[in-house]
Amino acid sequence: MITRFPSTAPFLSSATVHNGTVYTQGQVAFNKPGAPIAEQCADIFQALDTILEKVGSDKDHILSATIWLTDISTGPQFNEAWMKWLGADKMPARACIESRFINPAWHVEVALIAAVKEAA
């Protein structure tokens, strides 16, 4: 069974769940366009926490992350925000790519694959 969780965009799902695996849409800092990368990361991570909670998961269950940066030299700033959010003991598989975005005010985008938490 596939469950889709609607996004604010009519043609996207904020997340799709299939066989206990969560796939999130790429998150950008809708609330912080043009802000420094650390502020955009905080906005993105808050949105991802909300999405993961809605689908029965959390950041402890992240399996993989894909990160897009408009400037790869901001990688250390992203990593600092990532470690602050996720914690040093969690190490999901990860890819980081330099890319241009539709809106040049966005500096970072993050998409996750996570496991649904098992029922207690």
* Structural domains of the chain, ranges and CATH numbers in brackets: 2-115 (3.30.1330.40)
- Average pLDDT over every residue of 64-90: 95
Residue 72 and residue 20: Cα distance in Å, rounded? 33
pLDDT in tens, 36-45: 999 999 999 9
Confidence category of residue 71, pLDDT binned at 50, 70, 90 = very high
Q: Is the pLDDT of residue 2 over 90?
A: no
Chain centroid offset of residue 27 CA = 5
| DSSP per-residue string spanning 90-110 | ---EEEEEE---SSTT--EEE
Residue 100 and residue 97: Cα distance in Å, rounded? 10
Residue environment code for 46-65, b if the CB has 16+ CB neighbours within 10 A, otherwise e: ebbeebbeebbbebebbeeb
Q: Is the pLDDT of residue 97 over 60?
A: yes
